[in-house]
Amino acid sequence: MNILQLLQTCLRSISRNRMRSLLTSMGIIIGVGSVIIMVAMGEGSQKLIEERISSMGANVLQIQYRRPAARSVQAVYPRRSGFTKEDVEHLRRESTFALAISGVVQGNHDVFGREGNTRIRVQGVEPDFSIARNYYVDGGYFFIEEDMISRNTVAVLGRTTAENLFTEAESALTQQIRIGTNYFTVIGLLERKGAGLDGNDQDDIVLVPLDTAMTRIQNTREISHIFVSIIDKDFMDAAIQETNLILREARGIPDRIASDFSIMNQVDMIDIVSATSRTLTTLLAAIAGVSLFVGGIGIMNIMLVSVTERTREIGIRMAVGGRKRDILFQFLSEAMILSLMGGILGISMAFLACHLLTMAGIPTSINPMIVTISALFAAMVGVIFGYYPALKAARLYPIDALRYE
């Protein structure tokens, strides 16, 4: 029996019991579809998180003051509760890996505009902040060093803030807003960034020159954060070590005393999130993969029933010259075709489900490699669980098979 005849015979046998064949393949359909959907949701979520982290700034170090815990350390090494402009300038002069550096002071304030008011985060930053945190303007311009030196009352608004204060974002340009008792002129609008990793709207923000914020809004001489953008992620570890040494020197921290600041790395954050997401995705895919095992048992069960039902047919085939291997290949092929049909239907179901999930706002990303592996695994399940019934059919004695009622 050639391959074409074998396929025709198998398809005829399967088509005689269409509903039973479909129900037999249901376990494979659900298993393959579930694995692809779970992996697609996991990879989609991972990509979304990575995009959100990247939108906060490429290759960025975030340096934050950390108060020493031990009182004895405070006594030996009394420090102020934040950085100073001298710390930032020292870092800017000494760093060899920094592309952009900006000190930041921030606080929540009531902001009033022509059409409304809101309480939002107001940040005092330096001109390099736009590079360090990927905050670029698409209307007007970002403030410059001269605005810093002159302590000009100018502001750059996020799109959400501009819409809340002026209804239409573009109409905010050249208009004035009030922060506390101070009036600021809007000189720029930021590109829309969307939600951040913490779910907060990155477009609901007001940026003003650092010196202006320190003197007119926050009334402080201390800087709460420093953002450092590194020239390349390959230099990240070296940049962290260098930044730590420069700031310790600038702040006069003795060797025996721990640093009173922490350095957070965006690349490490992405790696941690990615590793966690991959672990969770693998676990979910493994759980979904149990359906494939159950589906394989279903195929074995129905193929054993099929062998019993077709015992006389098997006897007739052997009596007219059919060889044992022909019978073996026939039933094995039927099991594999049933499994492959289930795999194809499962893949189709997964693509449809992922499309609907994406339309509903749930990120998905179908991996072609997972689709291929799922299809091959479905075929393998058919071979593994179909082998015993096929072997049982091939081992029947022709005379006993012909006598079977």
pTM of the predicted model, to two decimals?
0.62
- Whether residue 46 sits in one domain with residue 186: no
Return the pLDDT at 55: 62
Please list, in sequence order, all residues whose beta carbon lies within 8 angstroms of the beta carbon of residue 192, skipping any fewer than 6 positions away: 159, 203
Is 61 a member of any domain?
A: no
Residue 373 lies in a domain: yes
Residue 202 falls within a domain, yes or no?
yes
Same domain, 234 and 377: no
Listed residues 259, 290, 318: the one ending a domain: 259
Residues 32 and 136 in one domain: no
DSSP states of 117-153: EEEEEEEEE-TTHHHHTT--EEEE----HHHHHHT--
Same domain, 31 and 167: no
**Contact status, residue 172 vs residue 113, Cβ threshold 8 Å:** yes
Over residues 282-286, mean pLDDT: 74
Same domain (yes/no): 171, 316: no
**Domain end residue (candidates: 194, 229, 259):** 259
Residues 234 and 92 reside in one and the same domain: yes
> Is residue 156 very low, low, confident or very high in pLDDT (cuts 50, 70, 90)?
very high
Residue 265 in domain: no
pLDDT digits (tens, 9 = 90+) for 224-241: 889 998 888 788 889 999
Q: How confident is the model at residue 327 (pLDDT cuts 50, 70, 90)?
A: confident
Give the Cα separation of 368 and 194 in Å (integer): 29
Domain count for the chain, please give it. Answer: 2
CA distance linking residue 185 with residue 172, whole number of Å: 9
Q: Average pLDDT in the 378-405 region? A: 74
- What percentage of the chain has pLDDT greater than the value 90? 19
Please state the rounded mean pLDDT for residues 29-48.
83
For 305: left if phi > 0, alpha if psi spans -120 to 50, otherwise beta; the answer is alpha
- Same-domain status, 42 and 92: no
> Residue 230 half-sphere exposure, CB side, CA atoms within 13 Å?
23
Q: What mean pLDDT do residues 285-311 have?
A: 76
What is the span of the domain harbouring residue 171? 67-259
Task: With respect to residue 300, please indicate whether it lies within any of the assigned structural domains.
Answer: yes
Q: In this predicted structure, which of 33-37, 92-96, 347-351, 379-383 has the lowest mean pLDDT?
A: 379-383
What is the dihedral angle through the alpha carbons of 249, 250, 251, 253, rounded to the nearest 10 degrees? Answer: 0
- Residues 266 and 72: their CA atoms lie apart, in Å, by 33
User: Which pLDDT does position 206 carry in this prediction?
Assistant: 93
Q: What is the mean pLDDT of residues 63-88?
A: 67
Say if 199 falls within a structural domain: yes
| Mean pLDDT, range 338-345, rounded to an integer | 85
Are both 374 and 326 inside the same structural domain? Answer: yes
139: in domain: yes
**Pair (31, 112) in one structural domain:** no
Q: Which of 259, 289, 308 is the endpoint of a domain?
A: 259
254 and 349 co-located in one domain: no
> 40: which residues sit within 8 A by CB, 6+ positions away?
350, 354, 364, 365, 366, 367, 370
> So what's the pLDDT on residue 318?
73
- Pairing mode, strands 182-190 and 154-157: parallel
Task: Note whether 138 and 230 are same-domain residues.
Answer: yes
Q: Does some domain include residue 59? A: no
Mean pLDDT of 238-246: 91
Instruction: Give the model's pLDDT for residue 75.
Output: 44
pLDDT at 72 over 50: no
Q: Which of 99-108, 174-183, 254-263, 322-331 has the lowest mean pLDDT?
A: 322-331
Contacts of 303 (CB under 8 A, 6+ apart): 331, 334, 335, 385, 386, 389, 390
> Per-residue pLDDT for 358 more than 80?
yes
Q: What pLDDT does 6 receive? A: 61
Answer yes or no: do 238 and 310 share one domain. Answer: no
